[in-house]
Amino acid sequence: MTKSARARPSRQGRDYGPYMFIARHLRESSVRIALVDGEELIDLETKHDDLPGLLASKAPIGELPSGERTSLSEAHLLSPVGAPPAILAVGLNYRAHAEEGGRDVPTTPIIFTKHHNCIVGPGAGIHIPEVASEMVDYEGELAIIIGRRCRHVPRDRAHEVIAGYSIMNDVSVRDWQRASPTMLMGKSWDTHGPLGPWMVSDASFDPHNRQLTTRVNGEIRQDSNTDDLIFDCFDIVHHLSTAFTLEPGTVIATGTPAGVGLFWDPPRMLSPGDEVSITIDGIGTLTNPVVSEPKTQLL
């Protein structure tokens, strides 16, 4: 399979739907927020260059003036949220994933956090650090993006505070994850939170019946549906907002289905030269190459 430094964006999915797609991209050294229109991006005229600020402004995104167009095939896409106020994640949230690891099905959501520096966009390299060269794993996940500041959200109103949905690869360094009960150190390495290729934003989008497929070098590793979620998107928002305020642009990774590399026999971890593609019907495909971590010096 031919690898490229920046994978071409794709809206692949069996149920594309009439939804609004919001992307961020780099054009002429400037970050722009844009609508996806067919095979083009249409820049939105706004002072904001990231979704947390735009969402907090309560501006009607679909009604913003439009600007320049860029071909998707030439676009340098970024993560739809570049600097989220928080990245929250749910562990063991697919029944089949809990079972493949020999774990009981949770009765309360298992929540952990990822450090904000893990966020990268589509096409960006997932780093394999020398100190964890044999234990880096993929996890394809549906991601929630919060649209407004909220607290104590009833489950039946959770849809009102969700701006949209995207795809996240919750890359995991398994030995570091197992060494700490909080999982933070195993989940937060730089580049270990690819997000994208954009956010789908539409009240008619149903997140709870979406096929999720993860491929490594074109081979299917995970093939499931979000109807296997133990706690669905609305349960999660209700649960989290019971304890603390959720800010616009907060990213919530909802959990991964069965088929992670750790539980193959033998385990099938990521290595430099691999390519990971995660497709969710109605959203698209997030693709990232796997590369050796660049040598850096102490700042």
Q: What angle do CA 207, 253, 130 make, to 5 degrees?
A: 140
Residue 12 has a pLDDT of 43
Residue 8 has pLDDT above 70, yes or no: no
Q: Who wins on pLDDT, 169 or 2?
A: 169
d(CA 73, CA 39): 8
Comparing 18 with 12, the larger pLDDT belongs to 18
Q: What per-residue confidence (pLDDT) applies to 203?
A: 85
Report whether CATH 3.90.850.10 matches the domain 78-291.
yes
pLDDT at 87: 98
Per residue in 105-118, pLDDT tens? Answer: 999 999 999 999 99
Share above pLDDT 90 across residues of the chain, in percent, rounded to a whole number:
86
How is the chain split into domains, by residue range?
A: 78-291
- pLDDT, averaged across the chain: 92
- Burial zone of 204 (CB within 10 Å; 0-12 exposed, 13-18 middle, 19+ buried): exposed
Q: Using 50, 70 and 90 to split pLDDT, how confident is the model at 299? A: low
| Residue range 210-237: mean pLDDT, rounded | 98
% the chain with pLDDT above 70: 93
Q: What is the pTM of this model?
A: 0.93
Residue 166 in contact with residue 173, Cβ under 8 Å?
A: no
**In terms of DSSP bridges, do strands 211-216 and 275-280 run parallel, antiparallel, or are they unpaired?**
antiparallel
Cα 17 to Cα 40: distance, rounded to the nearest angstrom: 17
Q: Provide φ and ψ at 21, rounded to 5°.
A: -115, 130
| pLDDT(294) > 60 | yes
Bridge partners of 287, per DSSP, are 277
